[in-house]
Chain A
Amino acid sequence: MENNNLKTIALNVRKNIIKMLIKAGSGHPGGSLSITDVLVCLFFNHLVHNPKDPLWEGRDRVILSKGHVCPALYAVLAESGYFPTDELWTLRQIGSRLQGHPAKDKGLPGIEISTGSLGQGLSVGVGIALGLKLDKKQNRVYVIMGDGEQEEGQIWEAVMAAGHYKLDNLTGIIDYNNLQIDGSVEEVMGISDLSEKYRAFRWNVIEIDGHNYDQINNAFKQAKEYKGKPTVIIAHTVKGKGVSFMENKAEWHGKVPKKEQLDMILKELEERV
C-alpha cells in the first residue's frame, strides 16, 4: 500500500481513538497516538492475516504487550475488517468485547492474549515463536512494547531467551515516546542505551522514526529478511502524536479530552495530514 493510503487509514484510526476515548470517558490517548503509524503499516503492509478468519492457522501473531494502548489496536482491527467500526463505541462499557485492556476471553477477533500488566507480552511472543519453530511453520510473531515497559525485569528475561533461541521469526517493537506516567523515562529510570542492550542480548536492532512511513516499512521488511536473530525495531515516536496540545505531555498518558474538545481535535488531525 502507498504511503498516502496508509496516511488516510492512520487519520481514521487517530480520529476513532479520540472518539472512542471521549465516549468511554477514560483510557490512554498518549501512547495510542504514538504507536498508530507503526500499527497501521504493520497491519496493512506486512502482517500475514485474514480478518474474516481471525483464527486462521497460517496467520502471523500480534501481541500488544503495552495493553493500555488498546484503543489504537481496536481501531486498527476495525479498520482491517475484524469487526464493525460501530463496536468501537462500546469501549470500556459493561458487557463490551473491547475491555479497558485487551481480554482474550471476551472473544474480540484479533486479540491473541490478555495483556495490561506490563512485561509479559514479549515472553508470550517467545513462547509462540518457539512453538512455531517446533512445528516448522513460517508465521511470524510481532510484540509491541513500551519504552517504560523496558523497566520490567521480565522483559530482559524474554530478551535473553529470544536471543538464546535465535528466534528470527520474532519481531519486537518499542514505542519509544520518552514519556511514562511519572514523567520522562530517563528521569524515572534510565533505560538507555536500548540499542546497545538488545545487541548485547544477541538481537538485530533497527532504529527508526516511528512516524516516517518509508522507515517503518523498511524496518518491517528488514526484520522479516534477517536470519539467525530476533529483530527489535526501536521506533522513536511522539506521545500524543497528531494533537498539538497532547504532544510530548506525560499528563496525557491516561487522561481523556473533554467532549467539547472533540471537533477541534478532529479538525486538527485532518489539517495535519
Chain B
Amino acid sequence: MVNVTEIKASRQGYGEGLMELGEINPNVVVIGLDLTESTATHSFKNKYPDRFFSIGIAEQNGMSIAAGLSLVGKIPYVSTFAVFSAGRCWEQVRMSVCYSNCNVKIAGSHAGLTTGPDGASHQATEDIAIMRVLPRMTVIVPCDAVEARKATVASASIYGPVYIRLSREPTPVITDKNSLFEIGKANVIKEGKDVGIIACGVMVYQALLAAEILEKENISAKVVNLHTIKPIDEDTIIKTARDCGCIVTVEEHQVMGGMGSAVAEVLVKNYPVPMEIMGLEDKFGESGNANELLEKYSLKDKNIIEKVKKILKIKRKGG
C-alpha cells in the first residue's frame, strides 16, 4: 500500500517553509497580493509584519517590486495564484526578474485542474510551460505538503529566480521529513523494470497507485518523482529510459510544453524510447471537485494503467 501519513495541501507546506525561513533568514520577505490566507502566508504576516508587504490586487506591480527588493539584498517570495504569478505577470517575470537575474522566488498556488470548483479561470494549466521557457528560471513542482516545505526552504539557498508550483486541494502526503529533496535531483520512489512512470505534483500519488495495481498484474513500474522540471535531472531520466525501455509521463498541466515535453526533450537528444505524455489535451478545465475533474480529464491511476499497457505493446513490437 502507498504509505499516506496525512492529507494536506502543498500550499500549506509553502506557508510552513516560509515560517522556517523567516526564523533563519532575516532577508526573506513576502509580497502579499490580497490572497494571504489562500497562499498560506498569514502566519508569516502575523509573525513578521515588517517583512510582509501588502501590494493589493496588483500582481504586475508586486512582481517588479519584488525585483526591486532583491536589488537591496532581500529574498522576496511573491505569493499568489499561478494564473497570476506565472501568467498575468509573465513579462515582468521575464524582464524585471529573469533578464535582470534577480533573486526573486515565485509561488504559483492553485495550479492545475485540482483547483476545482473555481473553474478554468483559476486552474493554471500552462504555468510549467511558460515558466520553464524563461532563461535562468528554476521550476519546482512539489508532490505534497512536506516536499513543498522543503522546496520553499531550499529555494532560498540558491541565487536566482525560482518558480514553485502549489496546489489548493488537500492531497495525500507521501514523503516524510527524512525523504531526500535536492533541487534538480529527481527521486526514484519505486524501482521497476518494465516501464518508467515519471510524474510531478499531485500526480505522483496517482502514479504510485497505478504502479501498485500494475504490480499485481506482473508489470513492474519504476516511479520517478520529477519535482524539479528545470534544471532537469537528465541522468535519472536517461537511466529510467535505458532500464525500462519506455516512459509514461503524467502531470495536471497541458501536454504541450509541460513536464512531459521537458522529459521528451531530454530523451530525443539522448536515448529515444516509446513514450506517452499524459496531461490536458489542449483543453481548458471546468468547475467540479478535484476528483471529478481528474476522472473527467483522464488523469487517474486507471488512466495511467491504460497508457502503460498501450506503451508496453509498442515497446514489445520494437518501437
In the complex, which residue of chain B has the Cβ closest to the Cβ of A113? B100
In the complex, identify which listed stretch (B1-9, B66-74, B260-268, B292-300) lies at the interface while the others stay far away.
B66-74
In the complex, identify which listed stretch (B91-99, B208-216, B241-249) lies at the interface while the others stay far away.
B91-99
**Per-position 1/0 for A113-129, Cβ under 8 A of B:** 11111011101111111
B307 contacts chain A at the CB level, 8 A cutoff = no
In the complex, which residue of chain B has the Cβ closest to the Cβ of A102? B100
C-alpha spacing A157/B71, complex, angstroms: 20
A208 contacts chain B at the CB level, 8 A cutoff = no
Query: Which B residues are in CB contact (< 8 Å) with A125?
Result: 68
Instruction: Please tell me if the beta carbons of A113 and B96 are within 8 angstroms of each other in the complex.
Output: yes
Instruction: Please tell me if the beta carbons of B96 and A124 are within 8 angstroms of each other in the complex.
Output: yes
B64 contacts chain A at the CB level, 8 A cutoff = yes
A61 CB, nearest partner CB in chain B, Å: 7
In the complex, identify which listed stretch (B53-61, B186-194, B251-259) lies at the interface while the others stay far away.
B53-61
A85 contacts chain B at the CB level, 8 A cutoff = no
Query: Which B residues are in CB contact (< 8 Å) with A194?
Result: none
C-alpha spacing A105/B68, complex, angstroms: 15
Partner of A120, one of B50, B69, B73, B95: B95
Within A124-180, which residues are at the interface with B (CB < 8 Å)?
A: 124-132, 134-135, 137, 153-154, 157-158, 160-161
Query: Which A residues are in CB contact (< 8 Å) with B100?
Result: 104-105, 113-114
Instruction: Please tell me if the beta carbons of A127 and B67 are within 8 angstroms of each other in the complex.
Output: yes
Instruction: Please tell me if the beta carbons of A161 and B60 are within 8 angstroms of each other in the complex.
Output: no
In the complex, which residue of chain A has the Cβ closest to the Cβ of B99? A114
Query: Which A residues are in CB contact (< 8 Å) with B63?
Result: 123
C-alpha spacing A134/B68, complex, angstroms: 13
A103 contacts chain B at the CB level, 8 A cutoff = yes
Instruction: Please tell me if the beta carbons of A134 and B61 are within 8 angstroms of each other in the complex.
Output: no
Instruction: Please tell me if the beta carbons of B72 and A123 are within 8 angstroms of each other in the complex.
Output: no
Instruction: Please tell me if the beta carbons of A120 and B64 are within 8 angstroms of each other in the complex.
Output: yes
B45 CB, nearest partner CB in chain A, Å: 15
**Per-position 1/0 for A47-81, Cβ under 8 A of B:** 00000000000000100000000000000000000
In the complex, which residue of chain B has the Cβ closest to the Cβ of A119? B60
Within B24-64, which residues are at the interface with A (CB < 8 Å)?
A: 29, 50-51, 53, 55-56, 58, 60-61, 63-64
Query: Which B residues are in CB contact (< 8 Å) with A131?
Result: 29, 68-69, 71-74
In the complex, which residue of chain A has the Cβ closest to the Cβ of B76? A127
Partner of A123, one of B70, B76, B96, B101: B96
A90 CB, nearest partner CB in chain B, Å: 20
Partner of B71, one of A115, A124, A137, A154: A124
Query: Which A residues are in CB contact (< 8 Å) with B60?
Result: 119-120, 123, 153-154, 157
C-alpha spacing A128/B55, complex, angstroms: 14
Query: Which B residues are in CB contact (< 8 Å) with A209?
Result: none
B224 contacts chain A at the CB level, 8 A cutoff = no
C-alpha spacing A125/B66, complex, angstroms: 10
C-alpha spacing A53/B114, complex, angstroms: 51
Query: Which A residues are in CB contact (< 8 Å) with B64?
Result: 120-121, 123-124, 126-127, 154, 158
Interface of A is mostly: helix
Query: Which B residues are in CB contact (< 8 Å) with A117?
Result: 91, 95
C-alpha spacing A20/B109, complex, angstroms: 47
A112 contacts chain B at the CB level, 8 A cutoff = yes
Instruction: Please tell me if the beta carbons of B71 and A134 are within 8 angstroms of each other in the complex.
Output: no
Query: Which A residues are in CB contact (< 8 Å) with B61?
Result: 123, 126, 154, 157-158, 161
Query: Which A residues are in CB contact (< 8 Å) with B73?
Result: 131
Instruction: Please tell me if the beta carbons of B96 and A114 are within 8 angstroms of each other in the complex.
Output: yes
Partner of A160, one of B56, B95, B96, B99: B56
Q: In the complex, which of the residues B67, B71, B99, B102 has the most CB atoms of chain A within 10 Å of its own CB atom?
A: B71
Given A126-B61, A127-B67, A131-B71, verify A103-B99 contact (CB < 8 Å).
yes
B65 contacts chain A at the CB level, 8 A cutoff = yes
C-alpha spacing A119/B91, complex, angstroms: 11
Instruction: Please tell me if the beta carbons of A128 and B68 are within 8 angstroms of each other in the complex.
Output: yes
A98 CB, nearest partner CB in chain B, Å: 16
Q: In the complex, which of the residues A61, A103, A126, A160 has the most CB atoms of chain B within 10 Å of its own CB atom?
A: A126
C-alpha spacing A121/B74, complex, angstroms: 18
Instruction: Please tell me if the beta carbons of B65 and A124 are within 8 angstroms of each other in the complex.
Output: yes
In the complex, which residue of chain B has the Cβ closest to the Cβ of A128? B68
Instruction: Please tell me if the beta carbons of B69 and A128 are within 8 angstroms of each other in the complex.
Output: yes
Instruction: Please tell me if the beta carbons of B71 and A127 are within 8 angstroms of each other in the complex.
Output: yes
Query: Which A residues are in CB contact (< 8 Å) with B69?
Result: 127-128, 130-131
The list of the 9 closest CB pairs from A to B, nearest first, reads A127-B68, A123-B64, A157-B61, A131-B72, A127-B65, A157-B58, A124-B68, A128-B68, A114-B100
11 example contacts (A-B, Cβ-Cβ < 8 A) are as follows A61-B71, A104-B101, A119-B60, A124-B96, A127-B76, A128-B69, A129-B68, A157-B58, A158-B64, A161-B56, A161-B61
Which residues of A pack against B, CB within 8 Å?
A: 61, 103-105, 112-117, 119-121, 123-132, 134-135, 137, 153-154, 157-158, 160-161
Which residues of B pack against A, CB within 8 Å?
A: 29, 50-51, 53, 55-56, 58, 60-61, 63-74, 76, 91-92, 95-96, 99-102
Apart from the given pairs A112-B71, A123-B65, A123-B67, 17 other A-B contacts in the complex at a CB distance below 8 Å: A114-B96, A114-B100, A117-B91, A120-B64, A120-B92, A120-B96, A123-B96, A126-B64, A126-B65, A127-B66, A127-B69, A127-B71, A127-B76, A131-B69, A137-B72, A161-B55, A161-B61
